[in-house]
Structure 1
Amino acid sequence: MKSRVQCAVLFSLLALGLVQAGCQGSSNGGNSKQELTQTGLVDGDIKHMTSLALTNGGKLKMDLSDPVQYRFVTARLAASGKTRQNSPQFFSMLDGMVKRHAAVKEGAKVQSGPNTPPRDHIYAKIERPTNETFRVTAFATIEDGADYNFVDIVAWNEAGNVQMSDYGWGEEYSDGRRLIAAASGSVGTTAAVFIKVDSLNIISVAGVEESYYLLESAIIPKAEPGGELIHPRDATGDGLVHLCLDRNYTDCDYPLIGQRVIRFPIKGSIIFATDVERVYTDPAYSFVKVSGQRGGTQQGLSTGIPFGHFVTIDDTDKRKIKWDLAQVDFPSLPFAPNSYVEFILSVKVKLKRGAAGTDAAMVISSLPKGFADTSTTAMPSAKIMRISYSCLAKGTKIQLSSNKTAKIEEIGRQTLVKSDVSGLELPVADVSVGIERIPMVHITDDAGRELLMTKTHPLMTPDKGAVWAGELAVGSKVLTDTGVSTLVKVDQEMYSDNVYNLKLDRGQGKEAAKGSTMFANGFLVGDLAMQKAYEFKNEKDLRADVLLRLPKAWHADYTNSLKVASRR
């Protein structure tokens, strides 16, 4: 049980926003200071679940026809505030699982449903916002979303029988691509603390309804020593790791030129509190994964071999593990623009501690959205990645100062470019050069102007603002150096020569970037800064119009969840 002082610390964390609060849209979640033993969880059930999880490598597909597993789940759910009254479909789903799991055990023929789509459930992070407090995070993701996704997380003492954190949980309706739950607690020491972290994940997607349990041994790290992440890194200091598809310019942290797979180097180290005896190389325990905007995760490989095989124990400091891979491939991640890609690196080791040794996992990951990087620990955080591209064909004429023009490939930095009809002239801050492997868009207007550009290059219109080239059609109105014109021809064609883009020095910030334009063959188009600001404007937002997409059976649960969230 936590002391009054510990509970006061947790209340302060909640007040400061250092733990997850309820979200808007399809997301909901929060934290409960209530002890799980007060919601029906008993010590025998904890031991039973620990034994089952460890027998299955720490990951368990649950059998809710087992009374202990069912009681374990419902005791945790009680702390989230879910009841049969406010969540009727949720509990109907659990009842259905109980019957189906019982029928399977009795040998009955149960009609097989659709396969579960790619999903993952990961212990994603542990950090110390202050020397006296800690925070753990779980991440649950389903490719292309789900009708419903629920995840929770709790931290326990090393023996697994004393709750050390509050209860953190999150849920999403008609989404579930990127769901997190975080729990916070306090410790009475600044030294490293060995703990256990466990998490439930309950899903309903495309006719599949299942529950999963994750148990992991972990360490609350002390401030020193910690770890280091050298690659991937944000070399430009803009808060993102930029992967540029067949492009190279100064904002690119990793230009992927002449490649057809997402790849980048991975280098770093972690120092544990005691000597490391062995590294678990099984990709279930030691891995590098990324998760893009579609959800799900993709595991990284080096020469086809999982990451864990390349983690070694340092010869001069046995507490230290390290890795240095010049190239890690993510063949399942589409070679296409991606507005955000989460990075998760996890290593599990056996430490020389106690007679039988002690297992422990450490994670370096990009911060979940909604949390500030307030950690005092030396353990590093990775940055969210962005994959992008856009360009104009070689030979495109750009208007310069004094109404002169120049081919885009002949323009260098500091060249003054005419930015809009007012005559504003801006210097070129950067030049992007690359190639294009997919069809480009070729437009012709009623004045005979022509322009060839990539599908995601922005053009300015009189009624819709910036639109992608790929969104244009015959009859579309666009802005030019002489006013509004109408497109009379829009085609797509392959292009084998170099493509280019310019970045104009218009100032800092996204709002400045949104107004960064230039004239290309007479058309008013966006530059590289505008491209980055608008590139993902049409990204599918599964949070919008939730009730239109959510099966009717879930409507009451969803509307009730909004009422509960509004009262928090």
Structure 2
Amino acid sequence: MKPTLLATLVAATLAFGAQASAAITLDKAQAVKSVKQDQYGVEYLDANDPKVQAELAALYRDAGWTEQNSPQLYRVLRAEQKASPKLMAPMVQTITTENAEIQLESMFMHLGFEVVDTGTSKVFRAALLNSEPVATQATTLTLKLVNEQGQQLARRSTVRFIGDDPNNLNRKTSFSETPAELAYDLISRSKKVMAEGLAFVVKADGSRVIKRLKVQYNRSAVMGMLARELGKPYVRVPTAQNVMSPRKDKLAIHIEDVRRANTGMGINSLRTGGFEYIVEHPKDTRKADADDRNMAGKDGKIMVCLNRDYGDCDYPMVQAGGDYNNIPHVTIPFKGSVTLNTYISDLFFPESAIAQNNAVAPTDILIQSKESFANRLSENVDNTRDAIRRFFTIDYKMVNFLPTTTLSWDIPREHAVFAKPGIFERRKDAYWILNLGLVVNELGSPEDAAELGITPEEYAEWNALGNYIVASRDANKDGIHGAVYSEDPLQFSYSCLAKGSLILLPNGQTQAIETLNIGDLVQGASEFDTKHQETLRVADISVGVEHLPMIKLTTSDGEVLMLTESHPVVLANGEPEWALNVKKGDEIQTHDGLATIAQYEKVDYRDKVYNLKLERAEGATAKGESFVMFANGISVGDLAMQAENEFDTYKETVDDVLNRIPSEWHTDYLNSLEIDKK
């Protein structure tokens, strides 16, 4: 068995290179009753409003969902809210675990846009994310892209999720797409690119939430990406009408020069689209199954080890003078650059006045988990600008008639501290998101504009705030080619035995784990035959410091062992199971045979922890083979077995889904298997 953003940055687009203007309400007069939640543009609509229900019903019928094949969806849509309708759903919910109080946050955000190569063609895609801090019965998401005249720029998408998938937890994503060639043609003739998202959520307690989010994408960012991917000219604006007379003729000439330069030189580099970027940290550099310590290689995840330093850790545990604010913390370096075809005058931060008065996300870094846990760097420092502005540099120049700025960052690990209660937890696919809140001007620097004869007043008309984001790719359970994010996700890991754990030696004696050295011999077994004991050699040793409560197991034989919750314990059938999931009464393997767990408890522990990587003392170790050892008589896994069983990759069957969702949703779910795949 293998055990298994910026929450309020809703104006941001999370695909790298996707720049968003302020999240704005496109229709000044709302047709339905709504309350704007905050400056980021999310509106909560009245679930009892007939106009809202009619709008959703029309979308559902267009998706092929009728009252006959989706009866429960329509039933809850039209149900009368018994309590007084609350248009403002809670943004944050605090849950108490045995380790910490964890704040989960409601998120509804546009994930920006990308161009995806399907193998036969290129597709322009926009994405939408919703995540709730509580369990849900069902969620529907609708996303559409239009221009300033309301004309559709991409196929409208309406998707549904029944229950919360345990592999993806609270995160639910919708995509809207169209052929890239068609998108280039449509958007080149449009002045604006706008996206609208609509979410209908039925929570586990039966309450309903309806959200609307509207944003305006930066058209030049969209065109730049399409131009780069298709090898076509980068068209900055369709006309020069937005510039005040009488200088617009000079700007028009400048724009034509840009077009001719791009076309004539055949520019088809990343720079043409304005999206060249480099990420040096965080980066996936080591393999979890490396045969040798610190062996280079990629395994598709950035492993952040919370209590150990070993070769599978891309970022080993570090002790930076103890706990930060008295709680365990995570530190990760950030280093990279982005080159944009615009002029960047500065970055703005959460403390900046413009960030308070505009619906544009400020410069910040977020770590977000699938279960809606989110921790921003700005939450852990007194002033974000004072803390990290010094680690950014701006280099501007005009290249081939295009304003070009390279923004670089190099934030040392000790200055990127995430310390929100709950961050120090084992997590699969924790997404990191670097949001760049920028002050930009497409015309170039004020000096460049002056050379064109553009007045300061005219130049000011082109000043804008925008977001560029570099982030982890979104985990995509549907296997659709491409992803919203560009970089590998983070994984947080820890697994060790308490100091003083006695390891069985081949001579029948025991030795404390902290006194063992590389090359020493121990008694153990292969994962392929855990009951056949043999002599093994210590190939490597991991040492760390534990912050979280440990699991204390007591067997029917009187053996007692303390280990971290994700350390594998070998069950009677030879399968590994996390210590966290072992229960009183379970049978486990010991050096003498089988024993029963007589007592299971969590205990506080603040000391060093250890783990061993083992290899066969005689004969070859099979590729990927892991081993068990006997700690205080109990059969437990080594470092390699820990890596194998780090996270659950189990896929649900139809029966599994039916067992976990309420029975009233069974008809909708079974029908959706055929309807929604079309």
TM-score range, shorter chain: 0.7 to 0.9
Q: Name the SS for the 1:294 alignment partner.
A: coil
Q: Name the SS for the 1:430 alignment partner.
A: strand
The match for 2:394 is: 314
The match for 1:459 is: 569
Report the CA distance shift for 1:84/1:241 in structure 2 as closer, same or farther (over 3 A): same
Conservation of the 8 A alpha-carbon contact between 1:390 and 1:456: yes
Conservation of the 8 A alpha-carbon contact between 2:590 and 2:634: yes
1:229 lines up with 2:306 in the alignment = no
Deviates more, 1:238-247 or 1:219-228: 219-228
Displacement of 1:409 after TM fit?
Answer: 2.0
Alpha-carbon distance in structure 1 between the residues aligned to 2:149 and 2:386: 27
Displacement of 1:499 after TM fit?
Answer: 1.3
Q: Name the SS for the 1:562 alignment partner.
A: helix
Q: Name the SS for the 2:514 alignment partner.
A: helix
1:142-161 equivalent positions in 2, closer than 5 A: 142-157=132-147, 159=148, 161=150
Conservation of the 8 A alpha-carbon contact between 1:58 and 1:215: yes
Deviates more, 1:314-323 or 1:145-154: 314-323
Report the CA distance shift for 1:471/1:84 in structure 2 as closer, same or farther (over 3 A): closer
Alpha-carbon distance in structure 1 between the residues aligned to 2:361 and 2:644: 37
Opposite residue 491 of structure 2, the aligned amino acid is R
Alpha-carbon distance in structure 1 between the residues aligned to 2:372 and 2:281: 23
Q: TM-score under structure 1 normalisation?
A: 0.74
1:133-282 equivalent positions in 2, closer than 5 A: 133-157=123-147, 159=148, 161-175=150-164, 177-188=170-181, 195-205=193-203, 206-216=205-215, 217-218=217-218, 219-220=221-222, 221=225, 222=228, 224-225=270-271, 226-236=276-286, 237-254=298-315, 255-257=317-319, 258-259=322-323, 260-277=328-345, 279=347, 281=349, 282=355
Conservation of the 8 A alpha-carbon contact between 2:375 and 2:418: no
Alpha-carbon distance in structure 2 between the residues aligned to 1:173 and 1:94: 14
Displacement of 1:125 after TM fit?
Answer: 4.6
Alpha-carbon distance in structure 2 between the residues aligned to 1:76 and 1:350: 38
Alpha-carbon distance in structure 1 between the residues aligned to 2:674 and 2:492: 37
Q: Name the SS for the 1:84 alignment partner.
A: coil
Conservation of the 8 A alpha-carbon contact between 1:144 and 1:294: no
Displacement of 1:57 after TM fit?
Answer: 4.6
Opposite residue 161 of structure 1, the aligned amino acid is G
Q: Name the SS for the 1:199 alignment partner.
A: strand
The match for 2:247 is: none
1:77-476 equivalent positions in 2, closer than 5 A: 77-95=60-78, 110=84, 112=86, 116=90, 118-130=105-117, 132-157=122-147, 159=148, 161-175=150-164, 177-188=170-181, 195-205=193-203, 206-216=205-215, 217-218=217-218, 219-220=221-222, 221=225, 222=228, 224-225=270-271, 226-236=276-286, 237-254=298-315, 255-257=317-319, 258-259=322-323, 260-277=328-345, 279=347, 281=349, 282=355, 285-286=361-362, 287-301=364-378, 302-305=380-383, 310=388, 314-317=394-397, 319-325=405-411, 326-353=415-442, 355-357=461-463, 360-370=466-476, 381-399=486-504, 406-413=511-518, 415=520, 417-420=522-525, 421-424=531-534, 427-445=537-555, 449-463=559-573, 465-472=575-582, 475-476=585-586
Conservation of the 8 A alpha-carbon contact between 2:433 and 2:469: yes
Deviates more, 1:436-445 or 1:121-130: 436-445
Opposite residue 614 of structure 2, the aligned amino acid is L
Conservation of the 8 A alpha-carbon contact between 1:141 and 1:297: no
Conservation of the 8 A alpha-carbon contact between 2:44 and 2:89: no
Q: Name the SS for the 2:416 alignment partner.
A: strand
Conservation of the 8 A alpha-carbon contact between 1:396 and 1:520: yes
The match for 1:33 is: none
Opposite residue 327 of structure 1, the aligned amino acid is A
Deviates more, 1:393-402 or 1:178-187: 393-402
Displacement of 1:500 after TM fit?
Answer: 0.2
Deviates more, 1:446-455 or 1:132-141: 446-455
Q: How many pairs align?
A: 506
Task: Write 1 or 2 for the structure with the bigger share of strand.
Answer: 1
Report the CA distance shift for 1:438/1:365 in structure 2 as closer, same or farther (over 3 A): closer
Displacement of 1:313 after TM fit?
Answer: 6.4
1:478-512 CA distance string (max 9 Å, x none) = 22233223455655544443210012355655xx4
What residue ranges of structure 1 are gaps of 5+ in the alignment? 1-45, 101-108
Conservation of the 8 A alpha-carbon contact between 2:438 and 2:466: yes
The match for 1:519 is: 630
Report the CA distance shift for 1:93/1:331 in structure 2 as closer, same or farther (over 3 A): same
Q: Name the SS for the 2:27 alignment partner.
A: helix
1:230-274 CA distance string (max 9 Å, x none) = 332223222212222232222223325443133423333322222
Conservation of the 8 A alpha-carbon contact between 1:177 and 1:296: no
The match for 2:400 is: none
The match for 2:27 is: 48
Displacement of 1:430 after TM fit?
Answer: 3.5
Deviates more, 1:532-541 or 1:321-330: 532-541
The match for 1:564 is: 675
Conservation of the 8 A alpha-carbon contact between 1:290 and 1:341: yes
Higher relative contact order (CA 8 A, sep 6+): 2
Conservation of the 8 A alpha-carbon contact between 1:310 and 1:323: no
Displacement of 1:224 after TM fit?
Answer: 0.9
Alpha-carbon distance in structure 1 between the residues aligned to 2:29 and 2:281: 35
Q: Name the SS for the 2:270 alignment partner.
A: coil
Report the CA distance shift for 1:550/1:60 in structure 2 as closer, same or farther (over 3 A): same
Deviates more, 1:410-419 or 1:148-157: 410-419
Displacement of 1:294 after TM fit?
Answer: 2.4
Report the CA distance shift for 1:310/1:427 in structure 2 as closer, same or farther (over 3 A): same
Conservation of the 8 A alpha-carbon contact between 1:79 and 1:167: no
Report the CA distance shift for 1:451/1:381 in structure 2 as closer, same or farther (over 3 A): same
Deviates more, 1:321-330 or 1:49-58: 49-58
Displacement of 1:526 after TM fit?
Answer: 0.6
Q: Name the SS for the 1:314 alignment partner.
A: strand
Report the CA distance shift for 1:145/1:458 in structure 2 as closer, same or farther (over 3 A): same
Alpha-carbon distance in structure 1 between the residues aligned to 2:498 and 2:313: 20
Opposite residue 471 of structure 2, the aligned amino acid is S
Displacement of 1:177 after TM fit?
Answer: 0.2
The match for 2:236 is: none
Alpha-carbon distance in structure 2 between the residues aligned to 1:160 and 1:347: 30
1:145-183 CA distance string (max 9 Å, x none) = 3122222333445x4633332233432222160111123
1:280-310 CA distance string (max 9 Å, x none) = 5338613433332423544332514458995
Conservation of the 8 A alpha-carbon contact between 2:163 and 2:661: yes
Opposite residue 407 of structure 2, the aligned amino acid is I
Conservation of the 8 A alpha-carbon contact between 1:262 and 1:333: no
Opposite residue 542 of structure 2, the aligned amino acid is S
State the structure with more CA Rg.
2
Report the CA distance shift for 1:423/1:296 in structure 2 as closer, same or farther (over 3 A): closer
Q: Name the SS for the 1:138 alignment partner.
A: strand
Deviates more, 1:465-474 or 1:451-460: 465-474
1:528 lines up with 2:639 in the alignment = yes
The match for 1:18 is: none
Displacement of 1:400 after TM fit?
Answer: 5.3
RMSD of aligned residue pairs (Cα, Å): 4.3
Conservation of the 8 A alpha-carbon contact between 2:523 and 2:536: yes
What residue ranges of structure 2 are gaps of 5+ in the alignment? 1-24, 94-104, 229-268, 287-297, 350-354, 398-403, 444-460, 526-530, 616-620
